[in-house]
Amino acid sequence: MAGVTLRGYKKVYNNAKGFERMGATMKQLMMGNEAIGRGAVEAGVSVVSAYPGTPSSEIPAYLARIAKDHAMYVEYAANEKVALEVAIGASWAGLRALATMKHVGVNVAADPLLSLTYTGVKGGLVLVSADDPSCHSSQNEQDNRYYAMLASMPALEPASPQEALEMTKAAFDLSEAVGLPVMLRPTTRSCHCRADVEAGEARPQNTGASFERDVRHRVTIPAHARLLHPELLRKIEQVRETFEESPFNSVTGSGSRGIIASGISSAYVAEAVAALGGGMAVLKLGTVHPLPRRLLASFLEGKDTVLVVEEMEPVVECQVKALAFEEGIGVSLRGKDLVPRTGELDTGIVTRAVAEAFGLSSPAAPACGPETVALPPRPPVLCPGCPHRATFYCINKTSKKAIKTSDIGCYTLGVVPPLSAVDTCLCMGASIGVACGLAAAGTNEVVATIGDSTFFHTGLPALASAVYNRHRVTIVILDNRTTAMTGHQPHPGTGTTAMGAPAPMIDIATVCEAMGAATWVVDPFDLPATMEALTAANAVEGPAVVVAKSPCALLLRRSEPPLVVDEEACTGCKLCITQLGCPAITFKDEEKKSHIDPLLCTACGVCAQVCRFKAIKNE
């Protein structure tokens, strides 16, 4: 891998469209994330480190399944910062490395990232930042192209699963050629759409790892950093020159009306142009940082109006407007005045924007046929038999006046009535930190809830701070033995690795006790014992931890028969519904009795403990 030249990179990069560099190919139906993983395999990746987060989760899961077949090492790191640092170490040893995460994970990884572009890489290093327009499973819609700009890092944005595979391979080649990490920025739709993909052969991994001492490029003391920054700026301009000839940028059509589209937006644009009858020139951009200035200037020349279509922020739009001003190109540039800055785009949104930009008549939306039925809304809820429901019930009983801070995980659904046991949720690990701030502000009762995987992710430093500063907070660790929300990935407390090998199982309660917090371990399905522990924890003059430990309902295959309601004993008080909100329990209005759906009931027994009239029993 050492000695890769930019000239050699261009040869490989410009062959990307041919896509048969390694002999026989095979066509597969692939999700975009799987295509990214396949691209990494075909690029010869050796080390993969990730923290799972939707919409990126399928990438490491796919690679972990096939790791042994390709001599790869795949791991789930404790958080995204560690994941990137693992990839950095492998790259500095000369191996190709991949770090994957969702967009907010890059916030956690930003500390090493913004110095990594100064130090550079040896083996190719690709960072996948999966952005999430419309917040399908996220707390914000941040656009991580800004991170690429901030860090002076090349960024590629795929428009399809096929392009995701090709871009991933090209990203590794570019990374080695220029000595920089490369960001691949898919968004939710390009991550999760499926299409036929031409997959090639796997490239052999580089097993000859060797670390070469280079203090100037590996130790970022101020004296070195001051010299490395101008070097970084020269590298990124070198990349810009390469991007001028990239096959991931293309122009179709002609005329005085133009559209510039990046990533998945280009697919919507293609459909919009077809629906409007054509007659427009379209520049599809796959290289979103640094932008190819000469290509853009050439495209703008002779155009009356150009519309920039991109998801979320006006990253391309602002740079194109600046370029047009600097080059004196008299063109009307439209963008976020017509294209929404929030939410996912779709063909309808883009078609209307294109029509308005060019004064065209937008085709009417197809009418709903007689067979179309509007589905009722389905708000997300905790699963039947979820141990978190039992824990939240106990918290509500023992801490009626408490402020309840929570965290990122499926337990965030504790905010939904009737539990209503979540007052704040900010980011991974913030439940404990925010709770400490509320305690410092004089709040007497604060209960923080945090998941087991999230506790390992960023809860540990917050707990250390809580113990050190003697904050009076009760911390409830909802230990369901997995990373449930993103697909049941293992973590340091589960006893297995990403590749399924046995691993040391870090015991959360032991860690908390060792850090100096008073600690209890309970089975949340034992309501009296859980409430007793919570009451004791609330009385501690300092930080106290209750570990509510029970496996996720989706990990269990219960053999017990479902519970039933004895209608003679049921008074119709609805406590089982108004205090639990289990999807398996409904109320029959005519009979004024509760009813348990046997197909949904997991026989966890919580509702039987809640019922004051002993009307819920084993079948």
Q: Report the percentage of the chain scoring pLDDT > 90.
A: 84
Residue 21: pLDDT over 50:
no
**What pLDDT score does 558 carry?**
76
Q: Choose the weakest-confidence range: 130-144, 332-346, 356-370, 431-445.
A: 356-370
Q: What is the CATH number of domain 250-357?
A: 3.40.50.920
**What pLDDT score does 208 carry?**
79
Average pLDDT of the segment spanning 129-138: 92
| Strand positions, DSSP E, 243-366 | 250-252, 257-262, 281-285, 287-289, 305-309, 332-334
Query: pTM for the complete prediction?
Result: 0.88
**What pLDDT score does 475 carry?**
97
Residue 467: pLDDT over 80:
yes
**What pLDDT score does 100 carry?**
97
Write out pLDDT tens, residues 272-315.
Answer: 999 999 999 999 999 999 999 999 999 999 999 999 999 999 99
Q: How many CB atoms lie within 10 A of CB 365?
A: 9
d(CA 615, CA 326): 77
Q: What is the mean pLDDT of the chain?
A: 92
Given a contact cutoff of 8 angstroms between Cβ atoms, the answer to whether 192 and 32 are in contact is yes
**What pLDDT score does 25 carry?**
65
**What pLDDT score does 356 carry?**
95
Residue 575: pLDDT over 90:
yes
Residue 24: pLDDT over 60:
no
Write out pLDDT tens, residues 535-557.
Answer: 999 999 999 999 999 999 999 87
Residue 418 DSSP code: T
The CATH homologous superfamily of the domain defined by 6-243 = Thiamin diphosphate (ThDP)-binding fold, Pyr/PP domains (3.40.50.970)
Decide which of 320 and 24 is more confident: 320
**What pLDDT score does 20 carry?**
36
| φ and ψ at residue 99, rounded to 5 degrees | -120, 130
Q: How far is CA 342 from CA 54, 143, 339, 609, in A?
A: 18, 11, 9, 45
Residue 6: pLDDT over 60:
no
**What pLDDT score does 218 carry?**
85
Residue 47: pLDDT over 70:
yes
563-618: CATH topology is: Alpha-Beta Plaits (3.30.70)
Residue 363: pLDDT over 90:
no
Instruction: Please report, for the chain, the start and end positions of each structural domain, with discontinuous segments joined by +.
Output: 6-243, 250-357, 387-555, 563-618
The CATH homologous superfamily of the domain defined by 387-555 = Thiamin diphosphate (ThDP)-binding fold, Pyr/PP domains (3.40.50.970)
Given a contact cutoff of 8 angstroms between Cβ atoms, the answer to whether 288 and 145 are in contact is yes
Domains 6-243 and 563-618 share a fold: no
**What pLDDT score does 431 carry?**
96
**What pLDDT score does 370 carry?**
53
**What pLDDT score does 282 carry?**
98
Q: Choose the weakest-confidence range: 109-123, 205-219, 272-286, 565-579.
A: 205-219
